[in-house]
Structure 1
């Protein structure tokens, strides 16, 4: 069952509101926590589905739980780590909700609830469908983004009907995927809870004519600011290779790649990796070949296909991060 704060419970019961709308909530990361809080505040009876606690640290002595479980919002928790474990789920629910869960929810689970399923997706769909919308918003240097609440398609990720968009959220010049996620968590919680409350109030999953008009307005504004007529795109799963630098690419791309994936790495001649901490890009070093380290006014740069990226710190494989200027001064080359 859902556990809200005593103050929240007093408000719910004093208003005559009972937690009768049963929601099976799939979520793991910290991005999902505000949405969980918002549905609790709306009076939903929540069951949380998340990943099992994992042993971490030296000697595996520490037990790390998911951010959603650690929040303590819900005591009724079911652990699912692989598709075969969905058979654990029992009970009758009004709605399935998925926020930053990462696994495909089987059709039989979606179909078992009265109103099917919803997902809060951190992009303006159909832009950036898939598992990494925030990273690809940064990688593509999109100037604006938002959140889409969509129905869960029983066969494919992000192919459901969009029920509601959040207001548009501007993306800063050197925004990172971490800072952009922080910007989007509250819009996601707000637009999701408004949608769920609307379903409970109207006893229907249909979109009103007024909401359709608002969705069209937001989508039109988004296309205008993106300067695109077709916004459809798909993202790839983030892997270690996502952060591999191709120095034939423009410096702006490499800088965006670093901010999107939280790191950037290149390979030395012996095959070992060198992690790079990037501080931005410039137009310097056109006389150098792509991939060449050089120094300008005491700062270390790597030449890209167009322009160059400024490197603050470097981490050779198996060693700690070191100041790029000091290392370059000692050895003259970082590859």
Structure 2
């Protein structure tokens, strides 16, 4: 089976790897987004998929748009049987979807129709779900609305993080993709339409989503932390000496103990830092004041001991 692979971030890499390593597939080229400025220095860097494709000495296409006749002709000339799409990051127009005779298969890390859209793994943790999964689907021009070929459920542990969930997805989904491609090519799979009445749509997460509302329950804040770490990250504001100091929370633990303090109140005992929520306290293990290095709570309290009884926002 001749395949063109569409992908961009690190998440896509194991899927490219498994298609290279599995018998019966011929990877013709990789389509990824153009190099972009990244990091603190905003240096132009290639995508993770581009680097991996170069490792395999595959041709790499980086169109600014898939709507141009030139790129569509270039894609047609490969005469691929199937396009495989994993976190490409751009909507694919109908003219491109129509090119391969088997269509375009997409890997989406949720149990569709739940969590159509971006960041479905983070939203599953953020909402406290007990399970999520992976869907292999046929792409159409909607937002993850295409017919489903296969799905596999993944249980979520009580302390699941986005990083541990991604590892679980990478453990099951690449193999599911390979098996799905083989079954679909042999005609043993019947695409199933999604139930739109059960659909939910996610949105892009932003840095503002990491702003902690201490009036939430400790459980809600814990879910937020596990979903949004390392990106976009969690933060709170301490109005100190007339200035708003942003504190980035790098590690925190949910505690059972409750104090009489108001939500958002900071307290320190024996070099340990606690913040009261609506229900119980969160212990801050590691944090980073704006403009400073990362530090443990003990290190932080040496220079910011006046946080005692401060109200964080």
* TM-score band, normalised by shorter chain: 0.7 to 0.9
Aligned pair in 2 of structure 1 residues 265, 290: CA closer, same or farther (>3 Å)? same
Pair 1:275 & 2:248 matched: yes
Hey, what's the Cα distance between the residues in 1 that align with 2:65 and 2:51? 21
Partner of 1:50: 32
Hey, what's the Cα distance between the residues in 2 that align with 1:285 and 1:137? 27
| Pairing partner for 1:253 from 206, 210, 220 | 220
Deviations 1:154-213, CA, capped at 9 Å, x for gaps: 1x21111111012x22222222101210110131111111111123233x8634xxxx7x
Aligned pair in 2 of structure 1 residues 57, 97: CA closer, same or farther (>3 Å)? closer
Aligned pair in 2 of structure 1 residues 314, 85: CA closer, same or farther (>3 Å)? farther
| Pairing partner for 1:75 from 36, 58, 81 | 58
- Structure 1 length-normalised TM: 0.78
Shift of 1:82: 4.6
Kept after mapping to 2: 8 A contact 1:120/1:148: yes
Kept after mapping to 1: 8 A contact 2:235/2:246: yes
Shift of 1:150: 1.0
Partner of 2:199: 232
Pairs aligned (count) = 293
Partner of 1:218: none
Matches within 5 A, 1:132-151: 132-151=119-138
Partner of 1:122: 109
Hey, what's the Cα distance between the residues in 1 that align with 2:69 and 2:211? 35
Give the SS at the match of 1:193.
helix
Deviations 1:103-158, CA, capped at 9 Å, x for gaps: 1111110012212211111111112211111111111122222111111121x211
Partner of 2:170: 185
Hey, what's the Cα distance between the residues in 2 that align with 1:29 and 1:85? 23
Partner of 1:300: 273
Q: CA RMSD in A?
A: 2.8
- Structure 2 length-normalised TM: 0.83
Q: Structure 1 or 2: larger strand share?
A: 2
Pair 1:311 & 2:278 matched: no
Gap runs ≥5 in structure 2: none
Hey, what's the Cα distance between the residues in 1 that align with 2:259 and 2:40? 47
Matches within 5 A, 1:91-240: 91=77, 92-154=79-141, 156-166=142-152, 168-202=153-187, 206-207=190-191, 232-240=199-207
Gap runs ≥5 in structure 1: 1-20, 216-229
